[in-house]
Every structure is written in C-alpha cells, then in structure tokens.
Amino acid sequence: MITELSGVETGDGALSGVRLAVKDNIDVAGAPTTGGSRICGHETALMTAPAVAALASAGARPVAKVNLHEFAYGVSSDNPWHGRVPNPRYPGHVPGGSSGGSAAAVAAGVAELALGTDTAGSIRIPAACTGTAGLRPRNGALDLAGVQPLCPSFDTVGPMAASVALVAAAWRVLAAGAPGSLAPEPGDEGAASGALPARVGVCGDPASVALRLLGELGVETVPLELPLAEIEEAFWPAFRAEIARVHQASYPRLADEYDPNVAAKLAGTQGVSVACYRESRERLTALRRGVLDGWRRLGVTAVVSPVLGIPLPRVGEREEDYRDLLGLYAVPASALDLAALAIGDLQITARTEAEALALGTALEEAGLTPVPPRLG
C-alpha cells in the first residue's frame, strides 16, 4: 500500500528536492493514518506530525504514506489488509519490519528519504533487510506527537535513506528543533562532539569489510560481549505491559479485527502486573549502567555488530518462527536507551546519535556501502 500525498507545505533548505516517504503510523494532515490496520484511518489527520513538518520545512517533499506491519508490531511487514510489502533489493525475502514500507520505498527509489519508527528494532531491521541505512535515536529525543504509540517508553521516530550522508542530514534537521534531551550523560561529554572514536567494541560477527575499514581509519577494535539474553529477559515484560495498555480499548474487544499474527502477540501481552513492570524497568536501568560502565573500563565509546541474528527469511516463512532472532542485536539499543545506526546489516550502537553518525559517516567516506544480509 502506498498513499500518495500532496499539499504539504515545504520550505527551502538542506533537504530541498528530496522526496520523503512517511510510515503510515505518522500523521500527515489530510491523509488517513491507518497504522497498517483496518481499525484506524477512517478520518484523515488534522495536523502533520512535528517530525514530518521539520523535514518538510527543510525542503523535503512528502510524497507517500507507506505500509507497515500492523500497528508496528512485527518484523515481516506482511500485512493482510493493505498488502505484503515487497523487498525490492532481495525479491522473495521479507523486507523486515515494522518499517518495511519505509525501507522498501527507499530501496525501490520511490523516495530518497523515509521516516520510520523503532521500538525494538523497527528501523534497523528493515534497513538491514533491504540494504539501506536507518537511525534509531534515543528514547525521548524527538517529539512523538502525531505518531501512533506502540510502547510509549521505547517508541522513537527516525530517518532512513540509501546513504549515511542523507540520514545524517535528516537527523541534523530533526535534532535542531528537538524538545528532548540530546546531551550526553555526566562523564561522557565527549560524546556530544561526534568525533571519531579511538576504540570500538565488536559484538557478534560484523562484516569483515567494516572491520578492515575501521583499522584503516585508525580505530582500534576490541571484542565485547553484550548480555543479550539478560537484556531481552528484562525488556519484554515492560514492552508487553505498555503495549497491552495502548491497545486496551480495542483488544480483546475487537480481536477479530486485528491481523491474526498481531492478535496472537497481543494475547501474550495481557496480565503483566504493575510490580512486574516496575521490576522490568529497574532491571533495565541497572543493565544500562552496567553496560556503559563496562564500555568505559574498556575505553569503548561505540559497538559494531550485525543487526540480524539469522539469515534473511523468505516470504512465506512464519514470522513467529524467526521474529526474536531476526533482530537479535537490535533489541539492546532499544532496551538500554542508546542510539543505533544500521548501514545495511551493520549496526553501530553508541551513547549518542552524533557518535553513531560520526563513525558511520567515516566508514561510508572510506568506501563502506550498506552491508548485505545473509540470505536464507
């Protein structure tokens, strides 16, 4: 599904002439916002979301609202109501999700720039699946007015493009008027400069070309393990508790109106207690502190890893069989409130957006292109 847009006022600035695709859980005045569902979108949006308006004021021209996994809750973007999102780069394989339509629009040349949302990997997973680039900002960095919530404490909105350079240009526009705090934490003031780090951690098995280019740039790499299982165990209760509350007016009352794939996941969100939620959030706070303390001890200011934990699934495979593994390395940035940049199936996780983009820009200028995923 692609809904064409017209009539959004644009300015003249750094993004002049750039076509912009907008994920259909983000408001554009005069267009419906369906969230990829058949429950929403019966009335058109009255206002344009600040993130869209900021890019338009810098010259970007919104041209389309694009499809997604229903309610941004999934990683295949196989949508029964509005159609399956194709993968223009790797036909026959899923485009990832939930911002699959945003990634596909960029990969297909429908738009040079797209806005997606990322709660647990939903910008970075489709960027990895389609050979594009995408930035997940920190929680609360940007105004989420006009963005349908999934899990409010972890929801973010961010730019996607074919290159890090355009992602960075869009981020500068978005950050210029951001109401959220983009400052580093005490003791991490150097993170604000966006300087190239002296040392980065390596988690998993990132692309060898990226490691080679880091060496050529004079960046030392050191092995680093993230407590992936512990982070996920701590994250999911809080994640599910908030989703249940977001959908409580329509689920389970309208369960038959949901995509069965999403309805099954919503069934699993029910009944998380306040005590369990608080414990989950407290564990995440402690894990974040421990992870960043470990980075400081190693002199590491960013970590490179894959995005995907498994080869790219084929269309027709059951999403429930691969969804947790597909974004194996994406969840930590969401859970621990870190910035993360995907350059295809290469992820840079850092304390700030400036750090992630500085390293990604340096790699791109050294010759790195979006890293292709392994194909299933």
| CATH, residue 228 | 3.90.1300.10
Catalytic residues: 23, 98, 122
Among candidates 70, 77, 65, which has minimal Cα distance to 32? 65
Residue 362, SS3?
helix
Q: Is residue 370 a part of any domain in this protein?
A: no
Q: What is the mean pLDDT of each run of 10 residues along the chain (376 residues)?
A: 66 94 98 97 97 97 97 98 98 98 98 98 98 97 97 98 98 86 54 78 97 97 96 98 98 98 98 98 98 97 97 97 96 98 98 97 98 94
Q: Is residue 371 a part of any domain in this protein?
A: no
Q: Is residue 125 a part of any domain in this protein?
A: yes
Domain coverage including residue 148 = 2-365
Which pLDDT belongs to residue 8? 74
Q: Is residue 347 a part of any domain in this protein?
A: yes
Q: Is residue 374 a part of any domain in this protein?
A: no
In the sheet where 199-202 sits, what is the strand order?
2-4, 61-66, 19-23, 113-118, 156-161, 133-136, 339-343, 347-350, 302-305, 199-202, 220-223
Q: Is residue 61 a part of any domain in this protein?
A: yes
Which pLDDT belongs to residue 185? 54
Which pLDDT belongs to residue 39? 97
Q: Is residue 81 a part of any domain in this protein?
A: yes
Which pLDDT belongs to residue 96? 98
Q: Is residue 375 a part of any domain in this protein?
A: no
Q: How many domains does the chain have?
A: 1
d(CA 63, CA 112): 10
User: In the chain, what is the straight-line distance between the N-terminal and C-terminal CA atoms, in Å?
Assistant: 26
